Amino acid sequence: MTTMGSLILRTASRFLLPLLLLFSVFMLLRGHDEPGGGFIAGLVAATGFALYLFAFDAGRTRELMWADPRVLFGLGLLAATLAGVPPILVGEPFFTAMWWPIEVPGLGEIKLSTPLVFDIGVYLVVLGGVMTIVLALAEAEE
Amino acid sequence: MLIAVLSGFILAAFAPWLARSVGDKAGWMLSLLPAGLFVYFLGFIPAVIEDGALVIHYTWIPGLDISLNFLVDGLSLLFALLISGIGTFIIIYAGGYLHGHPHLPRFYAIMFGFMASMIGLVLSDNLITLFVFWELTSITSYLLIGFDHENKHARWCALQGLLVTVAGGLALLAGLVMIGLAAGSFELSEILADGDVLREYPLYTAMVLLVLAGCFTKSAQVPFHFWLPNAMAAPTPVSAFLHSATMVKAGVYLLARLNPGLGGTDLWLYGLGIVGALTMFTGSFMALRSTGIKAVLAYTTVMALGTLTMLIGIGTELAITAAMTFLLAHALYKASLFMLAGALDHETGTKDILEMGGLRRLMPITFVTACVAALSLAGLPPLFGFIAKELMFEASLQAPGIAFFATVLAVASAIMIVAMAAVFATRPFLGDLKKTPKHPHEAPLSMLIGPVTLAALGLLFGVAAFIPAAAIVGSSVAAVYGAPVEVELYLWHGINLPLMLSILAVVAGVVLYRQWDRVLAMFERMTFIDRFGPERGYEHVMRGLDWIAAWQTGVLQNGYLRNYLTTIVLSTVVVTGWTFFFRADGAISLEDETGFTFYELGVAALVVMGAVVASVTSSRLGAVATLGMVGFGIALIYVLFSAPDLGITQIMVETLTVILLVLVLYRLPDFLNLSNPVVRMRDAAVAVSLGGLMTVLILAVNGVTVNDPISDQLVAWSVPEAHGRNIVNVILVDFRALDTLGEIFVVGLAAAGVYAMIRFRAEDKQK
């Protein structure tokens, strides 16, 4: 696995990975209104890292990720669970959606909400979960 | 009240930290909480005498009709006072007994958790809440018994106690639910107001048997008594607490609590009366055989629990009075004796009575206290234990139906208990000083204040019996009996049959005491008792369980993916298919299935071709590629039928599948065809059956007309309620967020599982 990637793949993946990650964030944020959402976005991001993995190796990929993928899916589960908590504080049932739309100059309205936090949690779980498996498989080979 | 019940749990969280920072005197400081609770509960006495019962309401889970209501009447108050009062001394005592023990802070934490569970248990008005606290006592006592967790025997004993009581607890849960359904309420205060509803319930017998299974296991009745002496593996403060006022009394508490509702029938009378009497006798007999100082006391506890059960079963006014008096007397002397036993063991370094002797000069306070407490155990005047025993004899004599049986066993037990009380009070102290592992001297104040106070109370209550009678025994008897009862306790009842029986018991007991060494020698030879006891039954059951677990794991978890797949597919086909064809009408409609466009048919043809090629190809890469064809074909179908989210997801999943396959491709065994044609035909049949079933199901689903499908509602709500136009996403993250949460936990779990599997394999290989 260590010397598998060709020069073309390496060069391409360097440019493709940021684009794919950007695209995944785009898919994540637009998911509430257009096709997309945390699940798809997480898969897109995981594909990006997997591409990088093929071009380089597991160690480089690990360095590039912000955190250990196991930490990522743990954080994701935590975020998704906590997204259900705020309504309890105001006396609503667990997971009642709460919305705080805010106006940002130049960008228009941004809909901050507990479902958004939940979706980010889903994103992290999918990304972390898939990358945990992929990296473990890749490293087992070495 | 809520704070009073929960304060123990709260302190449990802080106790370890407090114990570490305060150091030596932590026991004294921590004991302030139970002492405060004791005073708080004392404050309820006037109100309870006045009104009988108070119910304090808190809502907890309104949707399930589960509330945190607390019922304060004589019975719960008596228990709450015992738990908090004795608990105070136990905490102080533990500070001395476990002085310098590295896990002392942890001990305090568990102990407070246990105490709080116990208080919650006796004060709960709601059956479900009661059960929650009931199980909490099982779990915390498990931790307490297994406190010495590096000792294998302690762990084994703790597990035995846990399994026996929790198994009973499951039965109890079923029983409590039945009570709730029968009475139409889960609030004890409402259920017990009209007991006839329960007694006339068609499933009354099953209900009572289930409840008894729970109470008998918890309160160590024959044949489940064996776990209790093993619970001696716990540190002595725990044993003292468990045996005197808590854990094992929980079963007795519940029997007493439910007596107005379930009692008064033949089943109740004979079930409790006979089992209780047998337990009483067994406990006394086993005590006589024991030489371990804690074992003797443990078996006398079994005796006491049996007595209480029997008295509740008899259920007459007199019997209930005897039960409550006995309960109080027993709690006082048993806690005292256990703490003294701990002091002896702590100072001498041995637990065997036969190895102690001549300690009266070295430990005078211990000696005097032991005499007073043992007199109460033996039931001699002027101790409170005497009043309890007189009442017990009187109640046995008047018991409807089982008077002869109960009285004979009661007297026999009393004889043996007198002998053992004498052994306990004299053997370690009189005679010549024996050499013990440690050089003994008087125990510290922290270990004496509890037993001395409790023994003194036993004496005070005996001499001035009107105090407990007026303060608490009267109202607790009324709570158990279900109607107000005049309770007056006297030492002197005049010369009557119970007094004669008492004298007989004492005289015979003293004779037995004189002959104890000979009796012991005789028992030495009777080893068959150990061979056939119910504990062997427990061991057989446990071995059987292990065997079944190993067997079924071998059958089900055989390690072959193909077998797992076949099992899953066939069960699905059989269960779903049977339901569909025999329980539903199994009708499918093909009316709407017209008007395909050519490209839809084209995609479908591609998918089918891919599937066929994948199953017959002889190359692995070919199989991967054609499976990919199937996947992307399905993604196309999603897109054609306007489900872009599903389409994108399917494409991403297909891509990742290819990536994963690439990663594992080199590690797979050669792609060979090892199965014979018959096996292949069988596998094909299994696969086709599942495919066929799914096809039929989907066609059938299409034919079902739902009047008002929920999808219409979801579409309508999507924008106004959830601020989102993508309904799929809105459903995932808002409408059905809880389902999604479950699903992502599965994703996380799967990732963790795969990671563990791959990593452990790699590590194994390295070794």
Gap between the Cα atoms of B65 and B544, Å rounded? 39
CA separation (Å) from B57 to B23, B69, B164?
Answer: 39, 4, 33
Q: Would you call A129 and B747 a contact, using CB atoms and an 8 Å cutoff?
A: yes
Minimal Cα distance from A39: which residue of B? B649
Q: What is the pLDDT of residue B484?
A: 82
Chain B residues lying within 8 Å of A37, measured CB to CB? 645, 726, 728-729, 732-733
Amino acid residing at B106: R
Amino acid residing at B468: P
A51 SS3 class: helix
Domain that holds residue A132: 7-141
Percent of chain B with pLDDT over 90: 29
Alpha-carbon B385 to chain mean position: 31
Q: Which residues touch B262 (CB under 8 Å, ≥6 apart)?
A: B179, B195, B198, B199, B204, B207, B208, B211, B268
B187 SS3 class: strand
Chain A residues lying within 8 Å of B661, measured CB to CB? none
Chain A residues lying within 8 Å of B733, measured CB to CB? 32, 37-38, 115-116, 118-119, 122
Chain B residues lying within 8 Å of A47, measured CB to CB? 652, 655-656, 659
Structure tokens at B635: 């993604």
pLDDT at B205 over 70: yes
Minimal Cα distance from A122: which residue of B? B744
Q: What is the pLDDT of residue A1?
A: 44
Question: Which tens digit of pLDDT belongs to each residue from B42-72?
Answer: 988 888 888 878 888 887 777 777 778 899 9
**H or E segment and range at residue B762:** helix B737-766
pLDDT at B608 over 80: yes
Query: Is B63 an interface residue toward A (CB < 8 Å)?
Result: no
Q: What is the pLDDT of residue B118?
A: 93
Residue of A97, A111, A122 lying closest to B734 (CB–CB): A97
Q: What is the mean pLDDT of each run of 10 residues along chain A (142 residues)?
A: 68 90 90 85 92 87 87 93 87 82 75 88 94 88 66
Q: Which residues touch B346 (CB under 8 Å, ≥6 apart)?
A: B97, B236, B443, B447
- Which of B645, B731, B744 to probe the A interface (max A CBs under 10 A)? B744
Cβ-based neighbour number of residue B309 at 10 Å: 32
* Inside any domain, residue A2: no
- Residues in a beta bridge with B56: B70
- Dihedral pair phi/psi, residue B383, rounded to 5°: -85, 160
Exposed e or buried b per residue across B623-647, where buried means at least 16 C-beta atoms within 10 angstroms of its C-beta: bbebbbbbbbbbbbbbbeeebebbb
Chain A residues lying within 8 Å of B660, measured CB to CB? 133-134, 137
Gap between the Cα atoms of A72 and A94, Å rounded? 24
Cβ-based neighbour number of residue B87 at 10 Å: 29
For B487-597, where are the alpha helices, taking DSSP H only?
497-514, 516-525, 528-532, 534-556, 561-578
Q: What is the pLDDT of residue B329?
A: 92
Mean pLDDT of chain B: 87
Confidence band, pLDDT 50/70/90 cuts, at residue B178: very high
Query: Is B649 an interface residue toward A (CB < 8 Å)?
Result: yes
Query: For B455-465, what is the mean pLDDT?
Result: 89
Query: Is B716 an interface residue toward A (CB < 8 Å)?
Result: no
Chain B residues lying within 8 Å of A119, measured CB to CB? 729, 732-733
Which residue, B579, B670, B655, B582, is CA-closest to B619? Answer: B670
Residue of A39, A50, A125 lying closest to B748 (CB–CB): A125
Chain B residues lying within 8 Å of A113, measured CB to CB? 723
* Inside any domain, residue A108: yes
β-pair type (B53-56, B70-73): antiparallel
Q: DSSP code of B223?
A: T
Gap between the Cα atoms of B615 and B608, Å rounded? 11
Exposed, middle or buried, B743 (CB in 10 Å: 0-12/13-18/19+)? middle
Chain B residues lying within 8 Å of A33, measured CB to CB? 724-726
Q: Would you call A122 and B740 a contact, using CB atoms and an 8 Å cutoff?
A: yes
Q: Would you call B762 and A46 a contact, using CB atoms and an 8 Å cutoff?
A: no
- Dihedral pair phi/psi, residue B352, rounded to 5°: -95, 125
pLDDT at B80 over 90: yes
Q: Which of A93-97, B395-399, B585-589, B666-670 has the highest mean pLDDT?
A: B395-399
Question: Which tens digit of pLDDT belongs to each residue from B466-524?
Answer: 888 888 888 888 888 888 888 888 777 777 888 888 888 889 988 888 888 888 888 87
* Angle formed at CA A23 by CA A22 and CA A29, multiple of 5 degrees: 90
Which residue, B568, B537, B513, is CA-closest to B226? Answer: B537
Q: Would you call B723 and A136 a contact, using CB atoms and an 8 Å cutoff?
A: no
Q: How far is A50 from chain B (nearest CA, A)?
A: 7
* Inside any domain, residue A1: no
Exposed, middle or buried, B250 (CB in 10 Å: 0-12/13-18/19+)? buried
Q: What is the pLDDT of residue B528?
A: 65
Query: For B73-79, what is the mean pLDDT?
Result: 91
Q: Are B609 and B719 in contact (CB under 8 A)?
A: no
Gap between the Cα atoms of B528 and B144, Å rounded? 31
Q: How far is B616 from chain A (nearest CA, A)?
A: 28
Amino acid residing at B717: W
- Angle, in degrees to the nearest 10, between helices B127-145 and B236-244: 150
What is the total count of domains within chain A? Answer: 1
Q: What is the pLDDT of residue A8?
A: 86
Q: Which residues touch A141 (CB under 8 Å, ≥6 apart)?
A: A1, B663, B666, B667
* Inside any domain, residue A68: yes
DSSP symbols for B356-421: ---TTTTSHHHHHHHHHHHHHHHT-TTSHHHHHHHHHHHHHHT-TTTHHHHHHHHHHHHHHHHHHH
Structure tokens at B653: 């999943």
pLDDT at B589 over 70: no
Q: B-contacting residues of A 25-64, CB under 8 Å?
A: 31-40, 43-44, 46-47, 50, 54
Q: What is the pLDDT of residue B605?
A: 92
Q: Would you call A47 and B652 a contact, using CB atoms and an 8 Å cutoff?
A: yes
- Which of A2, A27, A32, A127 to probe the B interface (max B CBs under 10 A)? A32
pLDDT at B132 over 80: yes
CA atoms within 13 A on the CB side of B449: 19
Query: Is A92 an interface residue toward B (CB < 8 Å)?
Result: no
Q: Which residues touch B235 (CB under 8 Å, ≥6 apart)?
A: B94, B97, B98, B107, B144, B147, B148
Minimal Cα distance from B644: which residue of A? A35
Gap between the Cα atoms of B667 and B661, Å rounded? 10
Q: What is the pLDDT of residue B698?
A: 85
Which residue, A8, A16, A109, B744, is CA-closest to A24? Answer: A16
Q: Would you call A50 and B725 a contact, using CB atoms and an 8 Å cutoff?
A: no
Query: Is A100 an interface residue toward B (CB < 8 Å)?
Result: no
Gap between the Cα atoms of B289 and B229, Å rounded? 13
Residue of B649, B653, B754 lying closest to A133 (CB–CB): B754
Which residue, A56, A77, A52, is CA-closest to A131? Answer: A52
Give just the sign of the alpha carbon dihedral B158, B127, B318, B216.
negative
Q: What is the pLDDT of residue B306?
A: 93
Q: A-contacting residues of B 617-646, CB under 8 Å?
A: 644-645
Q: What is the pLDDT of residue A95?
A: 84
Question: Which tens digit of pLDDT belongs to each residue from A73-83?
Answer: 999 999 999 99
Q: Which residues touch B432 (CB under 8 Å, ≥6 apart)?
A: B357, B358
Question: Which tens digit of pLDDT belongs to each residue from B701-729?
Answer: 877 777 777 778 888 888 887 788 888 88
Q: DSSP code of B69?
A: -
